[in-house]
């Protein structure tokens, strides 16, 4: 299958990217790609975010998210426990700081799956961050995936599609774009990016 990357910025030769940020519009397939990657490579560590969103059927506290009430999220912010946080389509989401810093200190690759606002915060605060944008093959396919997932009410889908227009317009802020045509291909490419060594110029092959 043809490579799905649209471009890449080589890392500086002396820096091995350790912190990979995966972003992209809601419904593009971020969770699916990450789940596939972790099925094949269970050793890949993914940060578990805190959120005020209610769990979807099958989602478990501490696995997909730490599901918290508004007051608890306020406390996480006030205590400086979040590396970044953002409000997205009516709910708040944030990355627990300590777990990420512990992994980075241990020299292990770290993967964050967060929205555009969070990606910008991480880019500004963590010099080792490598930003990966997951793009849909087309707008119509994005709408199909988001609607077909069947987890949100029509008005929530509308809010997420509004956010998607903004996120798609920000693609150029990212270091590399992967187009989610094939979950298997994108997972492999994402892993290659995470494990890239100094001097590697691209991810193809
Ligand atoms: P996100 O985490 O970005 O919001 P999901 O991972 O929940 O998106 O995926 C949204 C929907 O799209 C799901 O129903 C998923 O099965 C489907 N999907 C994900 N990747 C692909 C793909 N490459 N081809 C077809 N459908 C996909
Ligand atoms: P969902 O409700 O579909 O699980 O996630 C909605 C959006 O929130 C997605 O774009 C997802 O990447 C983003 N998100 C998940 N966790 C975090 C986080 O910790 N911080 C930020 N900024 N966004 C997050």
Q: Is the CB of 95 under 6 A from ligand 2?
A: yes
pLDDT per residue, tens digit, the chain (205 aa), is 444 566 655 555 445 558 999 999 999 999 999 999 999 999 899 999 999 999 999 999 999 999 999 999 999 999 999 999 999 999 999 999 999 999 998 888 999 999 999 999 999 999 889 999 999 999 999 999 999 998 899 999 999 999 999 999 999 999 999 999 999 999 999 999 998 754 555 544 3
Q: Which residues contact 32 (CB under 8 A, 6 or more apart)?
A: 183
The answer on 204 and 139 residing in a single domain is yes
Q: Is the CB of 27 under 6 A from ligand 1?
A: yes
The answer on 175 and 118 residing in a single domain is yes
Q: Is the CB of 26 under 6 A from ligand 2?
A: yes
The answer on 176 and 144 residing in a single domain is yes
Q: How far is residue 135 CA from its own chain's centroid? A: 12
User: Among the atoms of ligand 1, which is closest to the Cα of residue 149?
Assistant: 14
Angle between helices 183-194 and 30-40 in degrees, nearest 10: 70
Q: Which residue owns the Cα nearest ligand 1 atom 21?
A: 29
**Structurally, how many domains does the chain consist of?**
2
pLDDT at 1: 42
Q: Is the CB of 47 under 6 A from ligand 1?
A: no
Going from the Cα of 115 to the center of ligand 2, the distance in angstroms, rounded, reads 5
Tell me which of 90, 107, 124 is where a domain ends: 107
Q: Is the CB of 117 under 6 A from ligand 2?
A: yes
Most informative mutation of 21, 55, 145 for ligand 1 (most atoms within 8 A of CB): 145
Q: Is the CB of 65 under 6 A from ligand 2?
A: no
pLDDT at 3: 45
The answer on 118 and 88 residing in a single domain is no
User: Among the atoms of ligand 2, which is closest to the Cα of residue 89?
Assistant: 6
pLDDT at 195: 85
pLDDT at 75: 98
Q: How far apart are CA 92 and CA 94, in angstroms?
A: 7
Q: How far apart are CA 65 and CA 84, in angstroms?
A: 15
pLDDT at 14: 44
Q: How far apart are CA 189 and CA 202, in angstroms?
A: 10
Q: Is the CB of 5 under 6 A from ligand 2?
A: no
Q: How far is residue 120 CA from its own chain's centroid? A: 12
Tell me which of 68, 86, 107 is where a domain ends: 107
User: Among the atoms of ligand 2, which is closest to the Cα of residue 167?
Assistant: 10
Whole domain around residue 165: which residue ranges?
1-44+109-205
What's the CATH number where 65 sits? 3.30.63.10
Q: How far apart are CA 110 and CA 129, in angstroms?
A: 10
């Amino acid at each position: 299958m043809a490579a799905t990357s649209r471009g890449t910025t080589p890392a500086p030769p002396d820096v091995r990217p350790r912190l990979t940020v995966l972003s992209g519009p809601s419904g593009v397939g971020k969770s699916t790609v990450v789940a596939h990657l972790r099925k094949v490579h269970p050793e890949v560590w993914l940060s578990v975010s805190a959120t005020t969103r209610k769990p979807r059927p099958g989602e478990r506290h501490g696995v997909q998210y730490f599901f918290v009430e508004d007051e608890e999220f306020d406390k996480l912010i006030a205590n400086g426990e979040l590396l970044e946080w953002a409000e997205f389509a009516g709910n708040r989401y944030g990355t627990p700081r300590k777990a990420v810093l512990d992994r980075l200190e241990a020299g292990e690759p770290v993967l964050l799956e967060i929205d555009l606002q969070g990606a910008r915060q991480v880019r500004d605060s963590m010099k080792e961050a490598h930003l990966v944008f997951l793009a849909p093959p087309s707008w119509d396919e994005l709408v199909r995936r988001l609607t077909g997932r069947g987890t949100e009410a029509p008005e929530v889908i509308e809010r997420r599609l509004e956010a998607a227009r903004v996120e798609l317009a920000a693609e150029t802020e990212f270091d590399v774009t992967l187009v989610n045509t094939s979950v298997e291909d994108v997972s492999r490419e994402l892993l290659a990016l995470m494990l890239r060594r100094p001097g590697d110029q691209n991810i193809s092959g």
